[in-house]
Amino acid sequence: MYASSTAAMSELVFYVNGKKIVEKNPSPTTLLADVLRYKLKLTGTKVSCGEGGCGSCTVMVSWFDRSTSKILHYSVNACIVPICLLHGLAVTTVEAVGSTKTRLHELQERLVSGHGIQCGFCTPGMVMSMYALLRSNPVPTELQIEHALKGNLCRCTGYRPILDAFRSFSKDSGCPMGDRCCRNKDKKNSSDVVENCNENKNESDMGKQELIFPSELQLSDVYDQQTLEFKSDEVTWLRPVCLKDLLLLKKQHPEALLAAGGTNVAFYLRNASREKPLVIIATTHITELRSFEENEDGFLVGAMTSMTLLENKLMSLIDKHSETKTRLYHSLLDALCLFGSPQIRNRATIGGSLATASRLADVNVLLLAAGSHVKIASTDGEREVKIHDFFTGKSTTCLKPNEVITDVLLPFSTQDEYCGFYKQSPRKDLTLADVNAGLLMEFEAKNSSTVKNAFFAFGGLSSMLAVAKKSSSFVIGRKLDGSLLNELMLSLANELDQFVSGDDAKSFKVAVAQGFMFKFFLKISHQRFPKLEFLRLFKEEERYLLSSQADLQQKHSGVQVYDIITNQSETDSVGQPVPHRYAKQCATGEAVFIDDILPSQGELYLTLVTSTKASAKILKIDPSKALAMKGVVGFLDHTSIISSNKTGLYLDEEIFATEKVDFVGQTIGAVVAESHEIARKAARAVVIEYEELQPITTIEDAISHNSFHSWPGDMGAINYGNVSKAFGSCDHVIEGELKVGSQEHFYMETNSVRVVPKGEDGEMDVYCGTQYGAGLQNLVASTLNVPCNKIYVHTKRMGGSFGGKEFRSYLITLPSALAAHKFNRPVRCALERRQDMQITGYRRAYLAKFKVGFNNNGKVMALDLDMYSNDGFHPEYSAGFMGQSLFYSDNCYAIPNIYVRGHLCKTNLPPTAAMRGAGVPQGLVICEYWMTRVAEFLKRPQHKIREVNMYRGGDVTFISVPIEDSMTRCFDEVLKQSNYEQALVNIENFNQQSAFLKKGIAVTPVKFSPGLPPSWCMAGAIVNVYLDGSVLLYHGGVESGQGLHTKMIQIASRVFDLSIDKIHISETSTGVIPNSVTTGGSSGTDLNGGAVLDACNQLMARLKPIKDSNPNGKWEDWVKTANEQKINLSASGYYSHAYKEDFDWKTGKGRPYSYYTYGSAVTQVEIDCLSGSYVILKVDIVMDVGKSLNPAIDVGQIEGAFVMGTGLYALEEHLFGANGHLETSGAGKYHIPTISSIPLEMNVSLLKDCGNPQAVYSSKGIGEPPLLLSNSVFFAIENAVIAARRQAGLSPDFAFNSPATTKQIQSACGLGPQHLLKSLVT
């Protein structure tokens, strides 16, 4: 098999956390994350997306570079690294960085104390990205720190506290000792503070804790020189160590894949539809492919050069040579800055990028424009081809089957040559381009303005890289002036139009490409002819348009303002910014999530078999191929049901589909096997035959087919006042509509469950990340036909939930319970990201049609509103959430006449789910949208129109809920904090001067009532005090990162006057707290806090006589005495909200909420009218949280919710195709905010002197209200677009829907070539 004369080894050797790992005949399909988690039991490394797109699985890989005699450390995504690539390397996981059992690493300590941890699922990956950076660069800059974290996603925190914690390691950061820093004192007097200095922390203290690189790998090159061969039934993995052997192998296996960095190999390894075995040849140790050579033509780079190493080499060359000679290298740095993530760049190679021939590869399009050369070798010899001839078609090259790329020539630029790289993508980081470009232009001679040569290449326009040959030829021989630019724009539009025919984003892509050319033209004119100013540019605009991508990177900052209570006991933690109780466990990877629970002997793994059709009859289910696979234990479908096949909130769904499927992702069956890998592979082998029917997938389809879910009872409309009469007396009436897109939860931990039969009497333990344990308990008991008292649901923590684990956790739990019952063995199921996104629900999409009547003073007098929601095939609490939308159709405004109606569209999409805000985010943005239309119509400042219409303290809403004066206080305070009036003037001045950049500003208020339906407003708790004085606390709420457990401990600490270190919460269990309601609606603290308070008060009442008799005693003394006196040291607490009134939909009377949480936000943005990209410059938030139980946690909730809402309103496109398939599935296609998406400056203040007598210790629920404030981002963007349209002379009436994506922004600005050229100086 092996072509080399050297015998191939079949033994894999690598190190993990200093321990030598030897794998004999490893399977080539095995990935590093699987080995770490399932074999080595190092579960600190998490798997979230499974495609290298989120950073949760980040680990550090180290190797000894013998060419430099240095140990190199770099971060990688363990979920996409084949284990066979690690021969002779050392892997470090979070477990080796620090531990609660020994000592936390300094970076873990700072992350904990800096409140950078909420759910904690992403935390180990964050730690490892930062750790790898510090091992390579002990004192990085702040920008380098931000850059290192751009491959890591977090859905909870909003990133700011993570950045703040880590930037303390920066050399830009001041010493935490401030003026007392040792560097500000005489050395002889500095000993008292030197230990706190950043510089010493970074280099001295931290160095004592680092894992030592294995000496075997440093002293011997034996592993570097070994040829390898690993085989499985499906894949053969070969690793030669010299070019000669590589070429022989490629001749022997011309169809073989080459694995250099291996960033794409994992996707091939997971592909089950192979007609013949796959051969992979690893090129990692071919020294000839890792060479560098500088010659007179340029820089010859070995094909195995990683993007990170290439970046470093280019920077060295730029330092060495003149600017004119390295212009291509500057542009390459621009491309690399936006290429993938740090983890991907550390592995991806330049040869691999070229070989994929991707139409979107950032490096490829630039090298194509620059005229690079590619060196190719085979057993037949060597050849060199121009890159223009290298790419031959859609993902194809001129490489023959037996050839490999050996080198790439990166040419030096000439004095008269200019090049540029440009990219537009939906999100700045971790995202493929919508459009990118490599542009080159060369002039005749020094100071000449005549074009000698040009080459314009574009990616993303068609199925392959597009070369604008006509436009490139058109400019040759022409002089660089306004006339040429004018004609070039028209030429480019006509030529590129042909490339993107049939593309639904055609006009956007062509316009963006023209914008790239405009920027390039501008760049050349300023570099070559600085005195030739044929364009009028505002200074700030000029800086933006002329700067490189690297130069545009900016740091993020923020200020958090809140009061800390000082006049209380040291052990009373209420009101203190206490870190998350289990933050240390999360930072060290010790926190156990569902799939981290170590498997029992004989444990089985389940994978769902789901529908691939949106509407179809099931003709045949054939699991025979799956059952024939080794390791498959069984298959379940509707014939496996013990009791009833009906399930769901309204028992209108089937556990397993019987005769028909109604949406893509509907469960048809389940495969049970001995491993995750086998179960997933076997599930793909199950054959389902369908007879397809015509699906309904959109709101518009549902309306035209009259397809709606029924409203229960009298729900569905609210008629307040007399709308018809009011319209007749209004000065103005306007009508319009708004679409609000759906949103995926994208919690970092996918839905997971582990079901363990206890072996007798039908008892089962269910370990599940669910918000509603009691509800799940009932469904499992019903499915197994056993009473609830034999089913125990346990939830220790969740890696995020946001409503997505409230009801639909049963999708995996019920099949797993059936399997556990059938086989009498533990069964677990952990959904892969793409399947989780397809089947588990999402935020509903809305269509609103409104009619608003108002007077000349801006006062709104009447609102007539229809809201349509796309609720999928089953109404998963659709009525309740649309009801919320109706209740909040007024937001913070007193409207005397309202008639609002909700329509629940029934479509062939997966059922929707609860999601943070539950109908309110849609209703509120709709309200703010028509309010903005009123302001625009009257041509008055938007904040003034909002002020005119706002409720005042003492008012009562149209649903009879009283308003507190803190609503207007928040609004007034945020205007003051943001210096709104002056900002408005500054933005207006900016927009008058800037043609291509526009700024926008918006202020929006919010009211939101934390709570659940009145019948659910109850909670239980049990508090146990042990003889050593320690306290074990149980309550019915679940921890998902919102800090609920921490706040419960703080409440207990106040009642007991006891240190929080003595109080512990283990888990939430239906076996301890029965009949608990769901943890949601921002009500967890209100309800469970009341129950904990009740239980603790009972215990303190029992202890009071003992304390009174021994007032100087200690807690432990009182507990011991109480036990001796046979006093019960366990108490069961209960709380039910005193407010029990509900809303009567028939009469329109009643009060559905007890109180509101209030807030206001001012957002300032800057948009690029040429591309549609935007930057959130500044956000100011003022929030009324009552008397905060924990201001640090509350601020964290505010920031995290705001950033999630930014995704909803301005980034995240959640799109289904007409066939019902989710088109934006997976981390690569669904874009949640990254570090680069957050506001450059974010200031949060908690309103002072607030209270709330209706909740524990006068606090308020806070998890959801801040999300609503982020609609201010949407309206600030729209405000900037309006300025652009005004400049372009376009109509002020235009469609602008949510989310405000880059495509929509660019299109709405309407700045085509005719508008660009208006700036020409004539």
- pLDDT tens-digit profile of 1125-1139? 999 999 999 999 866
Rounded to 5°, angle at Cα 727 from 726 and 731: 105
Distance CA 1259, CA 1084 (A): 12
Residues with Cβ < 8 Å from 772, sequence gap 6 or more?
806, 807, 809, 1077, 1078, 1079, 1080
- Give which of 16, 10, 84, 76 is closest to 284, Cα–Cα: 84
Provide the pLDDT for residue 183.
44
Distance CA 869, CA 700 (A): 10
Distance CA 645, CA 642 (A): 8
| Strand ranges across the sheet with 898-905 | 717-720, 898-905, 860-870, 845-854, 732-740
Provide the pLDDT for residue 528.
85
- Give which of 1206, 1213, 1256 is closest to 1231, Cα–Cα: 1213
Whole-structure pTM value: 0.95
From residue 313, give the alpha-carbon distance in Å to each of 67, 549, 1282.
14, 18, 45
Residues with Cβ < 8 Å from 143, sequence gap 6 or more?
553, 555
**Catalytic amino acids?**
1264
Query: 1162-1192 in b/e burial notation, b at 16+ Cβ within 10 A?
Result: bbbbbbbbbbbbbbbbbbbbbbbbbbbbbbb
Average pLDDT, the chain: 92
Provide the pLDDT for residue 548.
62
The parts of the chain modelled with pLDDT lower than 50 are: 5, 176-178, 180-204, 1321-1322
